[in-house]
Amino acid sequence: MNPIITADELLSESAGARPPVLLDIRWQLSTAKAAGAAPFDGRAAYEAGHIPGAVFVDLDAELAGAPGTGGRHPLPDVDAFGAVMRRAGVRADVPVVVYDGGQGWAAARAWWLLRWTGHQDVRVLDGGLAAWSGPLSTDIPRPVEGDFKPVPGAGLLDAEAAAALARSGLLLDARAGERYRGDVEPLDRVGGHIPGAVSAPTTENVSPDGRFLSPQDLTARFRALGATPDTEVGVYCGSGVSGAHEVLALAVAGIPAALYAGSWSEWTQDESRPVATGPDPQ
């Protein structure tokens, strides 16, 4: 199944006999709070206008646990996540479409969590709300309680597994190149990368309008990095959000990949873990 859906396809399916459950995951990674400015308010953006029928889900509060030793966005408690999804109307036998403002990172986090916990039909709106040309609504839906019960599966790496994969397979670092090299680090304790990881910024998987490159172009990009359908591939980022976007891009290219959800923000909590700097993996 194609893990992304176009705005035209979503408009058609929403008017059909089996419309998908819609989840609005608008969120932005920002250092504004640290600078004393107000952070982006996804709920306020949602209330100002959203795709009709969409339910808002808060990434920080509902798609992540409390920041700490597990990183800035550790995985949420599975039972709590299931309750959030059921309140949003998610059912095991009904398709789900997730979207955000256009960057795709937050929507990919929701996509990955649902897929990892067993939902079989989840797609991301390619280009997010910015690609949507249909109507918007300010009505807040009250969906019928869903029945989705999350059961975690494969595709999750911890720190030890990520380090091992960097040696035995292919571990991709989805952050910007300057953070990978250690030139700057605006969010975490120290800059650099997991030794052996390969720099692969997820921003290079999309066009300027936020839509994914074609499957052919993504396949070529990942092949040049060493990733094929036969390669054991893992991905990490700063806190498991943009990394989920890279896992999604790999899925568009037909390449399965695991996610190190704790990512760099967890890795650097333990000062005994090695840190590599510079442009080379080692």
Summarize the confidence of residues 43-59 as an average pLDDT: 97
> pLDDT at residue 31 above 70?
no
Q: Tell me the pLDDT tens digit for each residue of 61-74.
A: 999 999 999 999 99
CA distance 136 to 57: 17
pLDDT class of 36 with cuts at 50, 70, 90 = low
Residues 6+ apart with CB under 8 A from 249: 202, 205, 206, 212, 213, 218, 222
Q: Tell me the pLDDT tens digit for each residue of 7-24.
A: 999 999 999 999 999 999
Summarize the confidence of residues 159-184 as an average pLDDT: 97
> pLDDT at residue 269 above 70?
yes
Given the structure tokens 């040309």, which residue do they identify?
133
> pLDDT at residue 30 above 80?
no
Residues 187 and 31 sit within 8 Å (Cβ to Cβ): yes
> pLDDT at residue 33 above 70?
no
pLDDT at 37: 61
Q: Which amino acid is at 75?
A: L
- The least confident of 33-42, 129-138, 228-237 is 33-42
pTM exceeds 0.85 for this model: yes
Q: Tell me the pLDDT tens digit for each residue of 250-262.
A: 999 999 999 999 9
Q: What are phi and psi of 184, to 5 degrees?
A: -140, 160
Summarize the confidence of residues 153-182 as an average pLDDT: 97
16 burial type by CB count under 10 A (0-12 exposed, 13-18 middle, 19+ buried)? exposed
What are the chain's domains?
A: 4-131 (3.40.250.10), 156-267 (3.40.250.10)
Q: Tell me the pLDDT tens digit for each residue of 100-130.
A: 999 999 999 999 999 999 999 999 999 999 9
What percent of the chain stands above pLDDT 70? Answer: 97
Q: In the annotation, is 235 catalytic? A: no
> pLDDT at residue 34 above 60?
no
Q: Tell me the pLDDT tens digit for each residue of 202-224.
A: 999 999 999 999 999 999 999 99
| Distances, alpha carbon 67 to alpha carbons 35, 130, 149, 180, in Å | 19, 30, 25, 22
The one catalytic residue in 114, 237, 250, 252 is 237
> pLDDT at residue 131 above 50?
yes
